[in-house]
Structure 1
Amino acid sequence: MDRRGSVTRRSPGLSRVAPRLLKGPLVKSIRVRALLAVAAAVLACVALTACSSPVSLGSAATVGDQRISSSELNAEIEEYQAALKKAKISEAQLQIPSVPRAILLQLIYFRQFEQFARRNGVVVTEGDVDKFITEQGGMQQIGPAALSKGVPPSETRAWIRAAIIYQKGLERFGANLTDQASVQAAQMKLFGQMDAVPVKISPRYGTWDTQRGLVEEARFGKPAAGTDAATPQDPSQQQDPNQSDPAAGQ
């Protein structure tokens, strides 16, 4: 977070977060890593005070050729809060100081990944998503992890799709998991393509900068005291869901 209160430079979604994955030991599964990267991208941009009131009617954002309405955002916020209540989790327990901001960013990133995939011929089928879920222990494992990262239950499959697109995108651009330099080069190509998907934010919610993401305090409040969005948790240090419950310790 810079002194103006905006998020430090990063490409939409992952460009300043995913490279951090290379700092720690390689996790066993690129798919697990991809999920963590997508989650960390959002967490890196939500270091704001809690603000859970539904937003105003109208358009919240436009991502490429897709519109995110404020009513859609409201519905996602309400669904997420209901899921937290059902799971007996308070917003104060989450590493998401602003639920509306986290969810808006998720919706933006999911659409960016989908449009990146469409433009680059990256195909992810429902079977791919189902296979991913099975390999990671089922929705009973993935669901709580997604909820802890600010993903409404109805968007869990979109979260997984984004992770698979990220994985396939790296492969498309020549990433070799045993060669960090090739992974970094592939990431930069992927991020450049993601930047080609334009994002416009309603002035009510802030503005979008391709280098810094969602900026300005706008609807979502001021940065929380002592919170630094420039130093998100390194996903490579998180637990591998292949070894234990991915929601554990969240």
Structure 2
Amino acid sequence: MHRRRRSALLFTAAIIAAPLLTACGSDAHPGAAAVVGGQRITVAQLENRVGEVRSAQRAAVSDDAQYKQAVAQTGSLTRDTLHGMVLDRVLHRAAQDEGVTVSRHEIQQMRTGLEQQVGGSKALETAWLQQYGVAPARLDDNLRLQLEAQKLAQSLGTDTSKPAFWNALSKASKELHVDLNPRYGSWDVQKSSRVDAKTPWVREVTAPATQGTA
């Protein structure tokens, strides 16, 4: 992979690979997968996004076995998708706070450059689908996210791997009062990341087996 492409993928990789810690949430908004800045991300909207990816995965392979393998490799797709939907809004707020904007022309420039690197539009769509669970119809939205992250980091005089960048996202998370439906975990404001809910019954069930093998 070219160096320039690695840079472009940095923030996408950070979204997908964000650490999963234990936390708890509240079910204050029935029917919502999350509430961000007072705006609901409904369960139906989340399911539609996941459905877009599953449909694209099915269309990209020639038989059921390959499709089942693709599904197995993206078993956390629903939670990853919600993570991305929330983080998109958090990042957009942080960018607004810093006066950062992204134009349609900048998105097209980035897409054209990436297409040249990987061998065309279809190859780029396939790469984003396979590696990051982004449906072709959402590719431009994801590139806007990339650019917003890069420009925000530049405005802050840092890069997307440094604390100053994530501190800006943490500030935006606090401003937006992110609240996740506990079925999907909760939102860690400090890390601007979805975290898994605590499930103490798992320890209770597995503890005897663990002791028996000691």
> What's the TM-score once normalised by structure 1's chain length?
0.61
For residues 98 and 143 of structure 1, what CA distance do their matches in structure 2 show? 20
Which residue of structure 1 lines up, in the alignment, with residue 187 of structure 2? 208
Distance 1:209 1:40, change over 3 A: closer
2:135 to 152, 156, 175: 152
Q: How does 1:75-90 map onto structure 2 within 5 Å?
A: 75-88=48-61, 90=67
Which residue of structure 2 lines up, in the alignment, with residue 122 of structure 1? 100
For residues 66 and 139 of structure 1, what CA distance do their matches in structure 2 show? 33
Which residue of structure 2 lines up, in the alignment, with residue 237 of structure 1? none
Q: How does 1:38-187 map onto structure 2 within 5 Å?
A: 38-45=12-19, 58-88=31-61, 90=67, 92-93=69-70, 95-137=73-115, 138-148=120-130, 149-175=132-158, 183=159, 187=162
For residues 174 and 39 of structure 1, what CA distance do their matches in structure 2 show? 21
Q: What CA deviation, in whole Å up to 9, does each residue of 1:98-142 have, x standing for no partner?
A: 111111111112222222212211110111100101111153232
For residues 216 and 86 of structure 1, what CA distance do their matches in structure 2 show? 31
Which residue of structure 2 lines up, in the alignment, with residue 225 of structure 1? none
For structure 1, list consecutive stretches of 5 or more residues without a partner in the other structure.
1-26, 48-56, 176-182, 223-250
Which residue of structure 1 lines up, in the alignment, with residue 8 of structure 2? 34
For residues 157 and 43 of structure 2, what CA distance do their matches in structure 1 show? 39
Does the aligned pair in 2 maintain the 1:61–1:201 contact within 8 Å? yes
For residues 156 and 165 of structure 1, what CA distance do their matches in structure 2 show? 14
Does the aligned pair in 1 maintain the 2:129–2:136 contact within 8 Å? yes
> What's the TM-score once normalised by structure 2's chain length?
0.71
Could you tell me which amino acid in structure 2 is paired with residue 215 of structure 1? V
Does the aligned pair in 2 maintain the 1:113–1:194 contact within 8 Å? yes
Q: RMSD in angstroms over aligned alpha carbons?
A: 2.9
Q: Per the alignment, in what secondary structure is the counterpart of residue 182 of structure 2?
A: coil
For residues 190 and 102 of structure 2, what CA distance do their matches in structure 1 show? 27
For residues 203 and 108 of structure 1, what CA distance do their matches in structure 2 show? 14
Aligned length: 177
Displacement of 1:71 in angstroms is 0.8
Displacement of 1:194 in angstroms is 0.6
Q: Per the alignment, in what secondary structure is the counterpart of residue 151 of structure 1?
A: coil
**Bigger share in helix:** 2
Displacement of 1:154 in angstroms is 2.6
Does the aligned pair in 2 maintain the 1:64–1:197 contact within 8 Å? no
Displacement of 1:45 in angstroms is 4.9
Q: Per the alignment, in what secondary structure is the counterpart of residue 214 of structure 1?
A: strand
Distance 1:46 1:141, change over 3 A: farther
Does the aligned pair in 1 maintain the 2:20–2:194 contact within 8 Å? no
Work out the percentage of aligned pairs sharing the same amino acid. Answer: 27
Displacement of 1:95 in angstroms is 4.6
Could you tell me which amino acid in structure 1 is paired with residue 58 of structure 2? K
